[in-house]
Amino acid sequence: MNKILVPYDFSDIATHALNFAADLCRKNDGCDVSLFHVIEGPTPDTIKTMGVSDYDPMEAIFVKKMIESAKGKMEDLMADETYKDISLSYKIVLGHPFKQIAEEIKTSGIELVIMGTSGASGAQEFLVGSNAERMVRYSKCPVITLREATSVEDIKTIALASNFHDVTDTFVKHVKRLQEAFGAELHLVKINTPLAFTTTREDKKQMERFVKQFELKNCTIDIYNHHNEEDGILGFSEDSKAGLVAIGTRQKKGIGHFLSGSIAEDVVNHSKVPVWTFGLDNA
């Protein structure tokens, strides 16, 4: 996790993410934190192309002032003594937040995204996808989302929720890196639901094979019964006092995603502790 990206909009939630990233860097020598601020507006090409019919000089002036304001705030952060002991930089770009963040991950070799999220509930959760949700669903690198100020030192245990039979080597490799970065105990948990019931005996055997296959250390095995996976993960994390939840994601498309949603996105929206996600489809 040498290259950490923090999407930053100067909000309190974004500052929680920055402070968490800074704490993680202090715990792990040699990592860099990059703040990434996206201004939604015309692209640089649009501003430079004077002949296009939708060019608005006043809009260009407004965007320029936004860039100048953002630069001033970023420079203040660079000078803040709080972050003098870490490698901290920033970048300001124009465009769509999710697209720009995804491109930055690809071009800069980002190994971890840490971002704040306000969560969602009710109709807002059902109808409106936040940038955090899109990152959880589609990011090509691991993402940690958090809603509140959290100290890295307080994360002693990580709850890894999975079915433990549909897991890639790449995913487990990243889980091991996560565990090492925090120096935490890993709590493996299978959520047993009425619609996908399996016996405790067969679950334990499967999870024991999983631990042996991937040579996991400093870990425990748990089976947690609940009506559905999302609430089961949240319930287990609270009951076990986990400092962080880890879960794999799948890319769902079309009406299937609209109707059923994503377990990971639901957990991100409602978890009281940070949530680490990584795509099981990623090679």
- Position 156 scores a pLDDT of 97
Q: Using one digit for the tens of pLDDT, what is the confidence trace for 13-53?
A: 999 999 999 999 999 988 999 999 999 866 555 444 434 44
- Position 52 scores a pLDDT of 45
The CATH number covering residue 264 comes to 3.40.50.620
Cα–Cα dist 10/6, whole Å: 11
- Position 125 scores a pLDDT of 36
- Position 154 scores a pLDDT of 94
Cα–Cα dist 89/11, whole Å: 18
- Position 1 scores a pLDDT of 77
Same domain membership, residue 163 and residue 114: no
Sign of the torsion formed by the C-alpha atoms of 178, 130, 120 and 19: positive
Average pLDDT of the segment spanning 2-7: 95
Same domain membership, residue 116 and residue 197: no
Q: How many domains does the chain have?
A: 2
Segments forming the whole domain that contains residue 18: 3-138
Residue with tokens 């260009």: 60
- Position 252 scores a pLDDT of 57
Give yes or no for a contact between 88 and 77, defined as CB atoms under 8 angstroms apart.
yes
Give yes or no for a contact between 262 and 252, defined as CB atoms under 8 angstroms apart.
yes
In a domain, 78, yes or no: yes
Residues of the chain with pLDDT > 90: what percent?
Answer: 68
Sign of the torsion formed by the C-alpha atoms of 84, 89, 92 and 96: negative
- All residues at 6 or more sequence positions from 34 whose CB lies less than 8 Å from its CB, including other chains: 3, 4, 5, 6, 88, 89, 90, 91, 108, 110
